[in-house]
A and B are shown apart, each in its own frame.
Chain A
Amino acid sequence: MPQSRSTPRPLDPSPQPLGVGVSVQLPESASGGDADVLARAQAGDHQAFSQLYSLHKRRIYSLCLRMVGNIAEAEDLTQEAFLQLHRKIATFRGDSAFSTWLHRLAINVVLMQLRKKGLSLVSLDEAMEPALEERPGRSFGAPDLNLSGTVDRLALQRAIDDLPAGYRLIFVLHDIEGYEHNEIAAMLECSIGNSKSQLHKARLKLRDALRMHPKEEGRR
């Protein structure tokens, strides 16, 4: 049974302080007639299941794509998520919003796939021992090298794509999808401190990557 989660927060375009979870964006119509469609899908109505797919496909596909960064894999994972949904939909009891439940189901599908491919989530805990360049005392650079308030979107995209899978996972779950550290720790079976630490390291890696590839043109 997926962990109960508070109602997903709408995407807020205004800047948020670090550590504040942000976005789990609902599909366009996440209430009202959805309940009827859901009930019919749970009763085995194929047409209703197809409607559920249409309502949620963008969100689930986008989630998979963010987590793995590969279109073909994201398609396979989206397919697997909806197949799992079809197998399990009758077990949905409404303890959380359906979209939240489906979101967690899709995350679990992605995690299972990453484990099969050899991403050891145990290694997240092993990584608590910081690498030499990450030990306290490391210089983060002079202030005049900071990002000056702008980030090259392509460079950031590349930098996220280049993150090690474990870092990327936690970064996407926290900073993009808006999950809290306790939720991420439960999903990844690691400690809350580990989740915080990995996220921090992921952000530092991104910062390093962006400083190596400073914005080239068109400062906003």
Chain B
Amino acid sequence: MNESAKNLDCAAFQAQLPDLIGSGEKVVDHPHLQSCELCRALLADLEIIAEAARQLFPMVEPPDDLWEQIESKIKSEEAVPDPD
């Protein structure tokens, strides 16, 4: 871990955070986090939110009559002669 990363202040670290997270690397190993409780808490919260959100949306069924509407539109589209 390099010294400049360790000496980042919170603002500089948080400015880099989108890239750090997006890089797929383990952000938790970042030197700044070894000594900064505030940023560790921030990262932990973001991870909790992302994980909770993934589990939030169940698969749901569309209403039963949606297929009838689609089928009806398909038929009306097919009834229109192709301009070509």
Contact = CB atoms under 8 A, between A and B. Distances in A.
Q: Real complex partners, A and B?
A: yes
Given A53-B70, A83-B73, A176 B57 contact: yes
B18 A196 contact: yes
Contacts of A82: 70
B49 A156 contact: yes
Contacts of A171: 53
Interface residues of B, number: 51
A79 B66 contact: yes
Mostly, the B contact residues are helix
A156 to B, nearest CB: 6
Q: Chain A: interface residue count, which band?
A: 35 or more
Interface string A55-79: 0011101100110000000110011
A150 B45 CA distance: 9
Nearest to A22: B54
Instruction: Name A's interface SS.
Output: helix
Interface in A136-176: 136-138, 140-143, 145-147, 149-151, 153, 156-157, 160, 171, 175-176
Contact of B66 (A50, A57, A196): A57
Contacts of B74: 46, 49, 83, 86
A17 B69 contact: no
Contacts of A50: 67, 71
Interface string B69-84: 1110110010000000
B59 A59 contact: yes
A136 B12 CA distance: 7
A136 B11 CA distance: 5
A204 B39 CA distance: 13
B37 interface: yes
Interface string B44-70: 111111111111111111110011011
A203 to B, nearest CB: 5
Contacts of A138: 11, 14
Contacts of B69: 79
A192 B21 CA distance: 13
Nearest to B49: A206
20 contacts: A11-B54, A13-B55, A15-B47, A16-B54, A17-B26, A57-B62, A61-B62, A62-B57, A62-B58, A74-B62, A83-B77, A86-B77, A140-B10, A140-B42, A149-B44, A175-B50, A192-B22, A193-B19, A196-B21, A197-B18
